[in-house]
Amino acid sequence: MHLSEITHPNQLHGLTVRQLEEIARQIREKHLQTIAASGGHLGPGLGVVELTLALYQTLDLDRDKVVWDVGHQAYPHKLITGRYNEFHTLRQKDGVAGYLKRSENVFDHFGAGHASTSISAALGMALARDAKGEEFKCVAVIGDGALTGGMALEAINHAGHLPDTNLMVVLNDNEMSISPNVGAISRYLNKVRLSDPVQFLTDNLEEQVKHLPFLGDSLTPEMERLKDSMKRLAVSKVGAVIEELGFKYFGPVDGHNLEELIRTFKQAHKAKGPTLVHVATVKGKGYAIAEKDQVGYHAQKPFDLATGKAFPSKKPTPPSYSKVFAHALTTLAENNPKIVGITAAMATGTGLDKLQQRLPKQYIDVGIAEQHAVTLAAGLACEGMRPVVAIYSTFLQRAYDQIIHDVCIQKLPVFFCLDRAGIVGADGPTHQGMYDIAYLRLIPNIVLMAPKDEAELQRMLVTGIEYTDGAIAMRYPRGSGIGAPLMEDGWEPLPIGKGEILRNGDDILLIGYGAMVHSTLQVAEILSEHGISATVINARFVKPLDSELIAPLAKQIGKVATFEEGCLMGGFGSAVCEALQDHDVLVPVKRFGIGDVLVDHATPAESKAAHGLTPAQMAESIRAAFFQKDAAK
């Protein structure tokens, strides 16, 4: 059978190990070809090919439910659940999503993108199953990285307390998060994987029995069982913590040995209550370049399969915001030992790996533990340190109460640097940095700012470091800046809550926030071609908003438009409307941003066009709203 013929995972039933190995080879081939062409997550999927096939062969997928954590490793799952033919559209507009979506496929039982949710969701399904008197298996597949997340541990704590609830947790342990995994649990799992007795038994038993002439070359079924039980005996010592938590522990299993995997899953399915199958996998398995550089090939831009090298971009691009941020932060930290950069398992994404390399004592990776990262920062701030939490806008959502309860109520000077704020592109709705303006703006004791370009980011970084009256947050987008000339050093802080006028005109007031300021200027340019002159403000701060600058100009000019890359509800434009209302300036305001909808995966340019956010679309819409007689109807 060829992979392309598998449209239902139950077609794996009855295939021999040899046949499964051939399917595994085809999955790797398709996976590699697709990611090399379109970019995306590479190593995670390659590591779980055998795990997926073995697990699915032991399940009845018409009934049983598998919940994949994060979803970035679920490409083998996608390839055997009817998406082979569209797989080449991965992460492209209207194509197969890069993560899991309930709406995409009946076998995607739970949507994901953020980590550490799978055990909670699968346990919820299991409890519902039991309440309804139904029978099916619920399985959560979670990586050792995702297991550093608090919610996964909360779910284990709960499940371990429910001896009558059948639930299987498959731990895909490759010792890696995006970067090498951190923390005491990871260290413990490593010990289980590598414990001397287990290592000794697995490495030597087969070899040793060969010296017993009556056994011949291979192990008899009895010897196999003996080997298994000896291994379990050895493991039970080191796997004791997991058993103590109320889970029956199976493993560690070689995650690339189909026979061993199938045998272990079958055994574990027979057990009652919560079980944990510990599978030892290699991230990037089967593609030597990815096995060697597991951090670099967690995800990749389109690349040449033969060399592993990313294709050079067509035109040179300016450095990314993350890069400018990391360089500036490292420079500042060199002169200020109180600065501590904190990441929640996103060292490379945020650029904090630069700080780690240069100043390891001023760098902390807490694992996928955003809540802990924020309260840890609050503790550091209590003792006079200068914590800088570098985090993606979307992942900070995890730590909302910590921001309110542990930082803002206590008026602690924590500096949040929100990367990937705004439209993020191919990662889709789970990763859009859409809500931070709205969810932070309503909290007292926090200043919110966004640079118009990468040079202003340097100044805002100094502003944030020097501000100690409470919390402060800076948001900036994914990808390259506009190429604004950077200063090597000597960055001046900005006055808190002050915007700047970038252009003067009489017909309309355009107010941009952050990366949208550039588009705002382009809108002004297009409008001027139609004889409409605009005043353009770079707001710099949404909180405190520069009402002293905005309100009189709005009153004088009489028409306002606001521009943001974020949700409109509660966002920057809302802040402007509220401020104008508070100043009794009752003028029409047109707000540009994202309405009450999700932004699907596509390129950022495609998403902007789909949501009416290109400069041409916005200029046209302004003309239609305010200057009707000139605009095309």
Q: Considering only residues 174, 300, 322, 356, which one is a binding residue for ligand TPP as defined by CB under 6 A?
A: 174
Q: Residue 384 — left, alpha, or beta (φ > 0 → left; ψ -120 to 50 → alpha)?
A: left
Coil, helix or strand for 370? helix
Choose the catalytic residue: 231, 283, 475, 623.
Answer: 283
Is 398 catalytic? The answer is: yes
Q: Is 274 in the site for ligand TPP (CB under 6 A)?
A: no
Q: Residue 483 — left, alpha, or beta (φ > 0 → left; ψ -120 to 50 → alpha)?
A: left
- Give whichever of 112 and 580 is closer to ligand TPP, judged by the CB atom: 112
Pairing between strand 299-300 and 40-41? antiparallel
Q: CB-based burial of residue 530 (10 Å sphere; 0-12 exposed, 13-18 middle, 19+ buried)?
A: middle
Of the candidates 141, 148, 132, the one whose C-alpha atom is nearest the C-alpha of residue 107 is: 141
Give dist(CA 458, CA 477) in Å, integer: 14
Q: What angle do CA 472, 473, 475 make, to 5 degrees?
A: 160
Q: Considering only residues 44, 308, 413, 566, which one is a binding residue for ligand TPP as defined by CB under 6 A?
A: 44
How is residue 303 annotated by DSSP? B
> Rounded to the nearest whole angstrom, what is the least distance from the CB of residue 178 to ligand TPP in the complex?
5
Binding mask 357-396 for ligand TPP (x = CB under 6 A): -----------x-x------------------------x-
Give dist(CA 139, CA 131) in Å, integer: 17
Instruction: With contacts defined by CB under 6 A, name the span among 169-177, 221-229, 236-244, 583-591 that binds ligand TPP.
Output: 169-177
DSSP string, 171-199: EEE-SBSSSB--SHHHHHHHHHHH-HHHH
- Give whichever of 165 and 397 is closer to ligand TPP, judged by the CB atom: 397
Instruction: With contacts defined by CB under 6 A, name the span among 137-145, 210-218, 246-254, 478-486 that binds ligand TPP.
Output: 137-145
Q: Is 177 in the site for ligand TPP (CB under 6 A)?
A: yes
Cβ–Cβ < 8 Å for 53, 9: no
Query: Tokens 């995997």, residue?
Result: 261
> Rounded to the nearest whole angstrom, what is the least distance from the CB of residue 144 to ligand TPP in the complex?
5
Give dist(CA 339, CA 387) in Å, integer: 6
Strands, E assignment, 189-281? 248-254, 274-280
Q: Is 419 in the site for ligand TPP (CB under 6 A)?
A: no
Choose the catalytic residue: 398, 420, 540, 608.
Answer: 398
Instruction: With contacts defined by CB under 6 A, name the span among 141-149, 372-380, 588-596, 608-616 that binds ligand TPP.
Output: 141-149
Considering only residues 70-89, where is the footprint of ligand TPP by CB under 6 A? 70, 72-73
Give dist(CA 406, CA 388) in Å, integer: 15
Q: Is 347 in the site for ligand TPP (CB under 6 A)?
A: no
Whether omega before 180 lies within 30 degrees of 0, making that bond cis, reads: no
Instruction: With contacts defined by CB under 6 A, name the span among 83-91, 138-146, 465-473, 556-564 that binds ligand TPP.
Output: 138-146
- Give whichever of 201 and 368 is closer to ligand TPP, judged by the CB atom: 368
> Rounded to the nearest whole angstrom, what is the least distance from the CB of residue 152 to ligand TPP in the complex?
9
> Rounded to the nearest whole angstrom, what is the least distance from the CB of residue 175 to ligand TPP in the complex?
8
- Give whichever of 233 and 598 is closer to ligand TPP, judged by the CB atom: 598
Considering only residues 281-310, where is the footprint of ligand TPP by CB under 6 A? 283, 298
- Give whichever of 353 and 507 is closer to ligand TPP, judged by the CB atom: 353
Is 370 catalytic? The answer is: yes
- Give whichever of 141 and 619 is closer to ligand TPP, judged by the CB atom: 141
Query: Tokens standing for 572?
Result: 């920057």
Query: Tokens standing for 233?
Result: 């005996």
Sign of CA dihedral 480, 483, 484, 490: positive
Cβ–Cβ < 8 Å for 407, 440: no
Give dist(CA 181, CA 175) in Å, integer: 6
Choose the catalytic residue: 50, 370, 565, 620.
Answer: 370
Residues 6+ apart with CB under 8 A from 99: 70, 71, 72, 74, 111, 112, 113, 427, 428, 430, 431
Q: Residue 282 — left, alpha, or beta (φ > 0 → left; ψ -120 to 50 → alpha)?
A: beta
Q: Considering only residues 101, 398, 420, 559, which one is a binding residue for ligand TPP as defined by CB under 6 A?
A: 398
**230: how many CB neighbours lie within 10 A of its CB?**
16
Q: Considering only residues 65, 101, 114, 540, which one is a binding residue for ligand TPP as defined by CB under 6 A?
A: 114
Q: How many residues bind ligand TPP (CB under 6 A)?
A: 24
Q: Is 143 in the site for ligand TPP (CB under 6 A)?
A: yes
> Rounded to the nearest whole angstrom, what is the least distance from the CB of residue 5 to ligand TPP in the complex?
28
Cβ–Cβ < 8 Å for 478, 422: yes
- Give whichever of 6 and 189 is closer to ligand TPP, judged by the CB atom: 189
Q: Is 115 in the site for ligand TPP (CB under 6 A)?
A: yes
Instruction: With contacts defined by CB under 6 A, name the span among 144-152, 333-341, 591-599, 616-624 that binds ligand TPP.
Output: 144-152
> Rounded to the nearest whole angstrom, what is the least distance from the CB of residue 112 to ligand TPP in the complex?
8
- Give whichever of 67 and 557 is closer to ligand TPP, judged by the CB atom: 67
Considering only residues 441-480, where is the footprint of ligand TPP by CB under 6 A? none
Give dist(CA 398, CA 340) in Å, integer: 21
Q: Is 176 in the site for ligand TPP (CB under 6 A)?
A: yes
Give dist(CA 70, CA 142) in Å, integer: 8
- Give whichever of 142 and 575 is closer to ligand TPP, judged by the CB atom: 142
Residues 6+ apart with CB under 8 A from 558: 587
Instruction: With contacts defined by CB under 6 A, name the span among 88-96, 121-129, 174-182, 557-565 that binds ligand TPP.
Output: 174-182
Q: Considering only residues 66, 345, 437, 440, which one is a binding residue for ligand TPP as defined by CB under 6 A?
A: 345
Binding mask 486-525 for ligand TPP (x = CB under 6 A): ----------------------------------------
Residues found near ligand TPP in the complex (CB under 6 A): 44, 47, 70, 72-73, 114-115, 143-146, 172, 174, 176-178, 283, 298, 344-345, 368, 370, 395, 398
The residues annotated with a catalytic role in the active site are 283, 370, 398
